[in-house]
Amino acid sequence: MKHTLIAWMRDKPGVLNRVVGLLRRRNFNIDSLQVGHSETPGISRMTFVVDGDEHMVDQVIKQLRKLVDVTQVDNISDRPTVMHELAMIRVQAASTNRGEIIQLVSIHSGQIVDVAIDSLIIQIADTEDKVNALLGLLQHFGIIEMVRTGPVAMVRSSEPWRPRGTTVWRAQANGVEAATAKDLFSIGGV
pLDDT digits (tens, 9 = 90+) for 97-133: 999 999 999 999 999 999 999 999 999 999 999 999 9
- The residue among 28, 71, 33, 86 whose CA lies nearest residue 52 is 28
The per-residue b/e assignment along 160-169, b for 16 or more CB within 10 angstroms, e otherwise, is: eeebbeebbe
Round to whole Å and give the CA distance between 127 and 86: 9
> What does DSSP assign to residue 92?
E
**Of 10-24, 26-40, 57-71, 126-140, which one has max mean pLDDT?**
126-140
* Domains in the chain, CATH or no CATH each: 2-79+159-181 (3.30.70.260), 84-148 (3.30.70.1150)
CB 178 within 8 A of CB 42: yes
Of 78, 67, 73, 86, the closest CA to residue 3 belongs to: 78
Q: How far apart are CA 4 and CA 14, in angstroms?
A: 22
Q: Is 57 within 8 Å of 6 (Cβ atoms)?
A: no
pTM of structure: 0.73
Q: How far apart are the first and last CA of the chain?
A: 34
**Between the CA of residue 126 and those of 153, 189, 190, what are the distances in Å?**
11, 25, 27
CA 143 to chain centre: 24
pLDDT of residue 27: 81
The model's pLDDT over 152-183, given as tens digits with 9 standing for 90+, comes to 999 988 755 554 444 444 444 444 444 444 44
Distance CA 147, CA 132 (A): 13
Residue pair 11/37 in contact (Cβ under 8 Å)? The answer is yes
DSSP letter at 116 equals -
- CA neighbor of 131 nearest in space, from 7, 32, 28, 5: 32
Q: How far is 162 from 97, CA to CA, in rounded Å?
A: 50
